Amino acid sequence: MTHATGSVLAADVGGTKLAVGLVGRDGQVIADRRAATPPGADAETLWSALAGLIDRLIDDVGAPEDLAGVGVGCGGPMIWPDGVVSPLNIPGWRGFPLRERLARRFPGLPVRIHNDAICLAIAEHWRGAGRGSDNMLGMVVSTGVGGGLILGGRLIDGGTGNAGHIGHVVVEPGGARCGCGALGCLEAVARGPGLAAWAVARGWSPGEPPEPGTGGYSEAGTATARRLAADAAAGDEIALAAMARAGRALGVAIASATNLCDLDLVTIGGGLSQAGPLLFDPLREALREHTRTEFAARVRVVPAGLGQDAGLVGAAALILAAGSYWSAGAAVIGR
């Protein structure tokens, strides 16, 4: 297994936030800076926001003398491993040459970009709840549903870098239309906004927010998956049905992946995963129903172990643990 020396400049690029950090070779975030992704911004404004955040980090903590490279997790789709990105949730970037821009800024260093959900899966395998498992699926259930697949202790990229994209496994044939255009995808059922919309269509009205200082929401009546989970915990029947529907869909999809790939472990992160038993109980029930062979029944499903640093840690692993997470073919482009 090949490991780089020195720290890595890591970036996590999403539709609502940008994060950059220095990550040590032990996978610990040394320092980080975060900012909101400029809404509705054009390509150059978005690039300036990311570059400015990098400048701020370096100005605050200094440029490491032993920087080993630059790793980035970014929403997809993208042309991989070239790092030309067109994130669905960042409309201003369509065909944006992110890897090329970063390579110009850091000449002579490897710059590697992968899907953000894959980076989260990498982080869980390298330093999170998936440590010690050679065959696992790391999932994110939030605004979308994505994942990354580790088999034989190595990231599986697939032909275009999209292996492990469990969000487009069909769980309800002929069901709701997914953003990809197909019917009944897991993402169409279990993504947070879709789940909230399903509940609203059946008469759910978000409850009042908790008292100030108790956590929760700043706007009464906002239909979000987080509010839905809170109402489910309070006993709302429609909210409970929605969470059970998402859990069952996840269980069916995980069973399919487990039967196909002989998985040991599945980790689930993202906002919806914080619903706890409301999501995981129906998930595990559906999983038991659909994993009747001995090899499949042994799979464990657990919450992701890393918090908000997971995206940075996974991006850094593209450099620091390249032997497991960056393929030889991709290295020609990603250096």
Helix H or strand E encompassing 155: strand 154-155
**Rounded mean pLDDT of 304-328?**
93
- 214/251 same-domain check: yes
- 262/239 same-domain check: yes
- 45/114 same-domain check: yes
- 152/138 same-domain check: yes
Q: Show the tokens assigned to 209.
A: 């927010």
- 115/165 same-domain check: no
- 198/216 same-domain check: yes
Q: What is the pLDDT of residues 198-243, one digit of tens each?
A: 999 999 998 755 444 433 333 345 789 999 999 999 999 999 999 9
Query: Are 272 and 140 contacting, i.e. CB atoms less than 8 angstroms apart?
Result: no
Position 329 confidence tier, pLDDT thresholds 50, 70, 90: low
- 259/203 same-domain check: yes
More confident residue, 175 or 16: 175
Q: How many domains does the chain have?
A: 2
H, E, C per residue of 256-288: HHHHHHCCCEEEEECHHHHHCHHHHHHHHHHHH
- 277/187 same-domain check: yes
On whether residue 1 sits in a domain, the answer given is: no
Q: What is the pLDDT of residues 31-48, one digit of tens each?
A: 999 999 999 999 999 999
On whether residue 126 sits in a domain, the answer given is: no
On whether residue 183 sits in a domain, the answer given is: yes
- 193/141 same-domain check: yes
Confidence at residue 221, expressed as pLDDT on a 0 to 100 scale:
52
Q: Is the dihedral of CA 141, 190, 299, 278 positive or negative?
A: positive
**Rounded mean pLDDT of 304-317?**
94
More confident residue, 4 or 166: 166
Range of the structural domain that residue 22 is part of:
8-120+308-334
On whether residue 287 sits in a domain, the answer given is: yes
On whether residue 125 sits in a domain, the answer given is: no
Domain with 299 in it: what CATH number?
3.30.420.40
- 159/175 same-domain check: yes
- 313/294 same-domain check: no
Query: Are 247 and 279 contacting, i.e. CB atoms less than 8 angstroms apart?
Result: yes
Confidence at residue 172, expressed as pLDDT on a 0 to 100 scale:
95
Confidence at residue 64, expressed as pLDDT on a 0 to 100 scale:
84
Q: What is the mean pLDDT of the chain?
A: 91
On whether residue 2 sits in a domain, the answer given is: no
Confidence at residue 219, expressed as pLDDT on a 0 to 100 scale:
38
On whether residue 157 sits in a domain, the answer given is: yes
User: How many Cβ atoms sit within 10 Å of the Cβ of residue 297?
Assistant: 13
- 114/199 same-domain check: no
